[in-house]
A and B are shown apart, each in its own frame.
With several copies, the nearest count.
Chain A
Amino acid sequence: MAAALAPIVLIAALLGAWEIACRALSVPSYVLPPPSAVGEALAADWKGLLASAWNTLAMALQALVVASLAAQLAALGAALSPTVHRALRPLAVALQVTPVIAIAPLVNIWAGIDHPERAIVALAAVVAFFPIFSGAVTGLRSADPDLERLFDLYGAGRGARLLRLRLPSALPFLLEGHKVAAGLAIVGAVVAEFVAGSGSAQGLAWRILDASHRLQTARMLAALLALGLLGAALYALFEALERAGLKWWRGR
């Protein structure tokens, strides 16, 4: 019980210190508003924030599904053929280091001006792709060497080896990759909305940018808080999944 309270206490302490510092140093609220102001903004905006957060979450989840499928397919291809692996790896890295803002115009054109949500999903998927791909590639190579030897003996083909040995062996790494990718999908959706949203789209990005343009820092922080909560919730979900998955995997 005390342990469960600890983080709450810590957060409360941090907030208290922040509030006091803001008041004592009379920091102007457009630079850093006190938590009470953020709380007010939250209370005033919560309906809109909820709708925006839902919007962003929907985009992020779609992107995560797309990224997960694409990354795992690519990793499977790489595992089936070293040539594919050598060819895909630099492309995957290049994709990871490409800033969303650079390819947004091209993606916008491809998605069509009337389908900004397609562009957002595609861009966020690009952001979330790499950790899953990298985790899958590493995981697919992490099978117990003695089990690999047994599969040699059984004369297992590449496909069977992949499906029945390497893929299950990769599970812990895949779970870890998805955990990292979940947060990236969210931030990717937000950034994609910055550069590819429909201007009037109602995700969290719009709220953040609009508040920032208008110097309403408290409103911006409220939106960031909503974003953080969204991320934490998704992370908690994936962590629970990881725990359950690993428990199943290990058999105890």
Chain B
Amino acid sequence: MIAELDEVEVSYGGRAALGPFSLSLAAGEIVALVGPSGCGKSTALRLLAGLEAPQRGEVRRDAAPGETAVVFQAPTLAPWLSAAANVALPLELSGLTRREARERAASALARVGLAGREAARPAQLSGGMAMRVSLARALVTSPRLLLLDEPFAALDEITRRALADDVLALWREAGPATVFVTHNVEEAVYMASRVVVMSPGPGRTLADVASPAALPRPPGFRTTPEFRESVEQVSAALAQGMAAA
């Protein structure tokens, strides 16, 4: 167990935002979080990262500082740093030499399709590019706990699939426990070992759909009937939750 939410509840200014909600994340697991807009997915991610504390319930984490990487829903880049410097930042903070950090940053940027844009400032990048820099910064540190908040939302289908495979490749190498939020059900089923469907309003668990196949995915997985069936199952849970609200 790397991280666990145990019947947590969060509210802002008296308005319930999440829960009661539980989620347990074992080492090497990939969990997809899907649910309607505003149900508390980002909040759950912040709890898992230890950036916020719940009003009720408990959060248990087994990751030291520096072992967690997060991609926030909006690209959170330092405007005064180049793309490469932004990506190199966590490496430099963890003690790597500047040169090595920059080298690794450059290769991480190339991996997300931004070779040649190392020197660009965040303000000079398109929305999708900025999000990819943010993703590169998370992947470059080889974290034990990886938390991704809609990392591919601003990306076209092809780039999206390429990056999904990239995250899976990283996962094969280092095996970080991963939670990612997505609105794309197919993506959720393709990438995750488990898909957690949340209800609207203050989000609770509606369904917890295990993957029909082991990770990494067999080739052609997206076209198998098991895949379609899981997608149907998740979509149905989602639709049911929203209809009930």
Chains A and B directly touch (beta carbon < 8 Å): yes
Selected contact of A152 from candidates B65, B92, B123, CB within 8 Å: B65
Question: B76, A250: Cβ atoms under 8 Å?
Answer: no
B78 contacts A165, CB within 8 Å?
yes
CB-CB under 8 A for A155 and B64, given A147-B76, A171-B80, A251-B122:
yes
Q: A149 is contacted by which of B51, B74, B124 (Cβ under 8 Å)?
A: B51
Query: Are A154 and B80 CB-contacts (below 8 A) given A149-B51, A250-B123, A251-B122?
Result: no
Query: Counting CB contacts under 8 A, is B72 at the interface?
Result: yes
Residue A168 lies at the interface, judged by CB distance under 8 Å to chain B: yes
B67-90 vs A, CB cutoff 8 Å, 1 = contact: the mask equals 011101010101111000000011
Of the four ranges (under 10, 10 to 19, 20 to 34, 35 or more), the interface on chain B belongs to: 20 to 34
B94 at the interface (CB under 8 A from A): yes
In the complex, which of the residues B49, B79, B94 has the most CB atoms of chain A within 10 Å of its own CB atom? B79
**Which of B65, B81, B122, B124 is the one whose CB lies under 8 Å from A153?**
B65
Among A155, A156, A251, the residue within 8 A (CB) of B79 is A251
A252 close to B (CB within 8 Å): yes
A168:B124 contact, CB within 8 angstroms: no
Partner of B76, one of A144, A171, A251: A144
A154 touches B79 (CB 8 A): no
Asked if A252 contacts B65 (CB within 8 A), the reply is no
Contact check, A251 vs B90: say whether CB atoms are below 8 A apart.
no
Q: Is the CB of B70 within 8 A of A150?
A: yes
- Binary per-residue interface labels of chain A (25-67) against chain B in the complex, 1 for a CB within 8 Å, 0 otherwise: 0000000000000000000000000000000000000000000
Q: Are B121 and A251 in contact (CB under 8 A)?
A: yes
Total contacts A to B, CB within 8 angstroms? 62
- Residues of A contacting B: mostly: helix
Q: Please, which residues of chain A bring their CB within 8 A of the CB of B70? A: 149-150, 153
User: What CA separation (Å) do A171 and B78 show in the bound complex?
Assistant: 13
A251 touches B72 (CB 8 A): no
B16-74 residues with Cβ-Cβ distance < 8 A to A are: 46, 49-51, 64-66, 68-70, 72, 74
Q: Are A153 and B69 in contact (CB under 8 A)?
A: yes
CB distance from A197 to the nearest CB of B (A): 42
Chain A residues with CB under 8 Å of B96's CB are: none
List residues of chain A with CB within 8 A of the CB of B93.
151, 154-156, 160, 164
Assess whether B80 is in contact with A150, with CB atoms less than 8 Å apart.
Answer: no
> Does A249 have its Cβ within 8 Å of any Cβ on chain B?
yes
Q: Is the CB of B76 within 8 A of A153?
A: no
Q: Is A146 an interface residue (CB 8 A)?
A: yes
**B residues in contact with A150, CB < 8 Å:** 70, 76, 90
Per the bound structure, the CA–CA distance linking A250 and B80 in Å amounts to 6
**Contact digits for A222-252, partner B, Cβ 8 Å, 1 yes 0 no:** 0000000000000000000000000011111
Residue of A nearest to B74 (CB): A146
Question: A248 — nearest CB in chain B belongs to which residue?
Answer: B80
- Residues of chain A within 8 A of B122, CB atoms compared: 251
Of chain B, the residue at the smallest CB distance from A150 is B76
The reply to whether B123 and A153 contact each other, CB–CB distance below 8 Å, is no
A248 vs B51: C-alpha distance when bound (angstroms): 22
A164 CB to closest chain B CB (Å) equals: 7
Provide the residues of chain B in CB contact with A156, threshold 8 Å. 93
Tell me whether A252 and B121 are in contact in the complex, defined as CB-CB below 8 angstroms, given that A153-B65, A154-B93, A171-B80 are known contacts: yes
9 A-B pairs (CB sep. < 8 Å): A150-B90, A153-B70, A155-B66, A165-B78, A168-B78, A168-B80, A249-B79, A250-B123, A252-B124
Contacts beyond the supplied A153-B65, A153-B69: 14 A-B pairs with Cβ under 8 Å: A144-B76, A149-B51, A150-B76, A150-B90, A153-B50, A153-B51, A153-B66, A154-B90, A155-B65, A171-B80, A248-B80, A250-B123, A252-B123, A252-B124
Q: Top 3 nearest A-B pairs by Cβ distance?
A: A251-B121, A155-B65, A155-B66
